[in-house]
């Protein structure tokens, strides 16, 4: 995948919100690349800036600094005028499937709407395209006549995905798209995303706070903490050989459904207010030194293989893991 030219590139993005007297650096420095057909997973705790990244990519927010390029062209340029081509090429799926739909419109209408707006189909062609989209997400065509409150949460999320696929996007931005669903429905929707990647070669920026979900779907992943990327790389490298203490803590905190194989959590200090200088993770990090508290670590390669693109932002990536990621208890 690395040989193709990037579909989407984010370079040193920054976004600060001001809420009253406070300024929140929601995104402090984020760079990432998505290749055509690739699923890039984005994990991080609540408030780490994941949705802000999604909104920047969707053009719903403008960055304070940095640049987004789609197929090599700056987003700012693509969004001048109607931005119609970009807005049909990049589609979103959000967390609450029922709320995302218009409660007064039928499911079929919601799926047809983008096709009508973009004048992509009408009449009989429109009806058959809607039926085809329902089929692609494994929904019965009869559901087209129902209203959002008349279908289950899982069906509603399938309908949202069908709507997102209507204009044959090259990128889906999925922000916590499976987080509110029961495990069996979550598994079905995750399977659907994999099928879409395989069948339609759709790339995805797949955002979730749940590490196992991201590991299952993503080809490569990005870990955010307090607005910055702290680790990124191929999914196997990040999950099996994590190098940043936050990633290690996250892995040790993820509880598998198996009483006999519970992780031993690496030690951590209890959270305090976020520092404004140095490593933002330092107050929780048992490895923190004076340098960590004064100098902000930069993202640098940690992969053993040259060009593996595994990088972490930590001064002490040479320290071996403090606990085996997963061990019998």
Partner 1 sequence: MSPILSVRGLTVCYPNADQPAVDDVGFDLAPGATIAVVGESGSGKSTVALALSRLLNPAVSIRADALTFEGHDLLGLPREALRRLRARRIAMIFQSPFGSWNPSRTIGAQLVDGLRAAGLWPERRQRLLELLKRVGIDDPERRLGDYPHRFSGGMLQRAMIAGALVTEPSLLIADEPTSALDATVQAEILEILDELRKEQNLALMLISHDLGVVARVAQHTLVLYRGRVVESGPTAALYRHAGHPYTQGLLAAVPRLEGPRKTPLPAMPQGTATIGGCVFASRCPRAEELCRTSAPPARRLNGTDVACHFAEDVRREPIWR
Ligand X SMILES: Nc1ncnc2c1ncn2[C@@H]1O[C@H](COP(=O)(O)OP(=O)(O)OP(=O)(O)O)[C@@H](O)[C@H]1O
Interface residue list for Mg ion (CB under 5 A): 50-51
Closest contact distance (angstroms) between CB of 294 and partner 1 is 23
HSE (side-chain half, CA atoms, 13 Å) at 43: 26
Q: Is 292 in the site for ligand SF4 (CB under 6 A)?
A: yes
Element (H, E) at 290: helix 290-294
Please say which residue, 73 or 138, places its beta carbon nearer to partner 1: 138
Among 18, 19, 46, 123, binds partner 1 (CB under 8 A): 46
b/e string for 205-218 if b means 16 or more Cβ within 10 A? bbbbbebebbbbbb
What is the pattern of x (binds ligand SF4, CB under 6 A) and - over residues 298-317? ----------------xxx-
Please say which residue, 2 or 60, places its beta carbon nearer to ligand X: 60
Q: Is 209 in the site for partner 1 (CB under 8 A)?
A: yes
Closest contact distance (angstroms) between CB of 18 and ligand X is 7
Please say which residue, 118 or 316, places its beta carbon nearer to ligand SF4: 316
Residues in the chain, total: 329
What is the pattern of x (binds ligand X, CB under 6 A) and - over residues 170-209? ---------------------------------------x
Which parts of the chain are beta strand (E)? 8-19, 22-34, 39-44, 65-70, 73-74, 90-93, 171-175, 203-207, 220-225, 228-234, 300-301, 311-312
Q: Judge contact between 191 and 275, C-beta under 8 A.
A: no
DSSP-derived pairing of the beta strands 300-301 and 311-312: antiparallel
Among 32, 38, 39, 52, binds ligand X (CB under 6 A): 52
């Amino acid at each position: 995948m690395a040989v193709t030219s990037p579909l989407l590139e984010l370079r040193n993005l920054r976004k600060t919100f001001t809420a009253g007297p406070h300024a929140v650096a929601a995104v402090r420095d984020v760079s990432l690349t998505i290749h055509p057909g690739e699923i890039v997973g984005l994990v991080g705790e609540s408030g780490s800036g994941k949705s802000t990244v999604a909104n920047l990519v969707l053009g719903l927010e403008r960055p304070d600094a940095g640049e987004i390029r789609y197929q090599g062209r700056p987003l700012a340029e693509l969004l001048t005028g109607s931005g119609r081509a970009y807005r049909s090429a990049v589609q979103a799926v959000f967390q609450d499937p029922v709320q995302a739909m218009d409660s007064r419109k039928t499911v079929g209408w919601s799926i047809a709407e983008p096709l009508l707006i973009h004048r992509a189909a009408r009449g009989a062609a429109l009806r058959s395209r809607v039926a085809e989209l329902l089929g692609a997400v494994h929904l019965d065509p009869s559901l087209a006549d129902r209203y959002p409150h008349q279908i289950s949460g899982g069906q509603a999320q399938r309908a949202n995905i069908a709507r997102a696929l209507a204009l044959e996007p090259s990128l889906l931005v999925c922000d916590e798209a499976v987080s509110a669903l029961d495990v069996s429905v979550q598994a079905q929707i995750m399977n659907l995303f994999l099928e879409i990647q395989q069948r339609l070669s759709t790339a995805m920026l797949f955002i979730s706070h749940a590490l196992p979900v991201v590991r299952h779907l993503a080809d490569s992943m990005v870990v955010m903490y307090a607005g910055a990327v702290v680790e990124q790389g191929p999914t196997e490298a990040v999950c099996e050989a994590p190098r940043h203490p936050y990633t290690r803590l996250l892995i040790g905190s993820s509880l598998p459904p198996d009483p006999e194989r519970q992780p031993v959590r690496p030690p951590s200090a209890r959270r305090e207010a976020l520092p404004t200088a140095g490593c933002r993770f330092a107050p929780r990090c048992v490895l923190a030194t004076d340098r960590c508290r004064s100098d902000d670590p930069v993202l640098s390669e940690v992969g053993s293989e040259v060009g593996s693109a595994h990088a972490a932002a930590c001064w002490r990536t040479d320290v071996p893991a403090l606990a085996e990621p997963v061990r019998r208890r």
